[in-house]
Amino acid sequence: MRFVLSAAVLLAAGLAQPQDSGTVLTVSEIQDPHLMRRPAVVEGRSWLGLRVLEDGSRLEQVEVRWLASVEFEDSLFRLSVEPQAPAFIVADVQQLSESPTTTLSHYEQSLTAGSPLTFSLGALAYSVELSGSAPMMCDATVTVSDGTVSQDLYFPDTEPVSCDEPHFSIQWVGDLDGDGKLDLLATFSPKYSYYPRRLFLSTAAQDGELVGLVAVFDGSAA
C-alpha cells in the first residue's frame, strides 16, 4: 500500500532544534501530495513506521522513497511507504528501534481549554492541558503533567508564526521507547495553516522534565 506526502519546509528558522536531528511525519503528511521542496527530508535516511493493529502496535523498518507523478498539469512527488500502513514514520531518533510499543491513542484529539486529555500508562496517570484566556487563545500554554511534575510543551511565541486561529492537538500517545513512561506526538500551532509536528519521548527528558523533543516536521499550507 502506498501513501503520499507534502514535502514542506523541514525546519523553520529560529526554532529550537530537537535533541536528535530527527524527523517525524504523521499520516496527514503521508496522505497529501505536494511539490517536493526538500528531497533530503527522505533521501539517505533510515525510517521506522508505527503500525497499529487490534492486538498491539510495533515500530518496524519501512522503505520510504519519492515517486514522480503529474497531477492537474503540475509535477508532484508522491511518497511511497512500504510494506505496511503506518500511523506515522520517524527517522534519526537514537532512542528508537524496531520493537513492540504501547499505543494509548492514535487518532487526532483536539485540545480545548479547561478540558484536559488524560492517559493512564501502567500505574502512572498523565494529563495534557491547554490553558489561556485571550479570545483567540493567542496566549495559550500546553502543559503535560504526571500529578507531581508539570512541564510546558508550548507557550506563546514558541513558534515563529503570528497568531491567527491557533490549533492544538495530539496525534499519538503511548510508550514508544519502551521505558514505561508517556511519549506523545503533537501539533501546537498559532496559525490555522501551520502544522508543526513534534515528537516527545520520556527517555529524552532532562532534569525536571517528563519528556524531551526528539523529532520535528514543519509544514505550512500558506
Q: Are 60 and 51 in contact (CB under 8 A)?
A: yes
- The answer to whether the predicted template modeling score (pTM) of the entire model surpasses 0.85 is yes
Q: What percent of the chain has pLDDT over 90?
A: 63
pLDDT at 101 over 80: yes
pLDDT bin (cut points 50, 70, 90) of residue 175 is very high
Strands 56-71 and 47-53 come out as antiparallel
Sole residue written with cell 503528511: 29
What pLDDT was estimated at residue 71?
63
Summarize the confidence of residues 70-91 as an average pLDDT: 81
pLDDT bin (cut points 50, 70, 90) of residue 8 is very low
At residue 95, the 3 state secondary structure works out as: coil
Sole residue written with cell 508539570: 150
Neighbours of 10 (CB within 10 A): 15
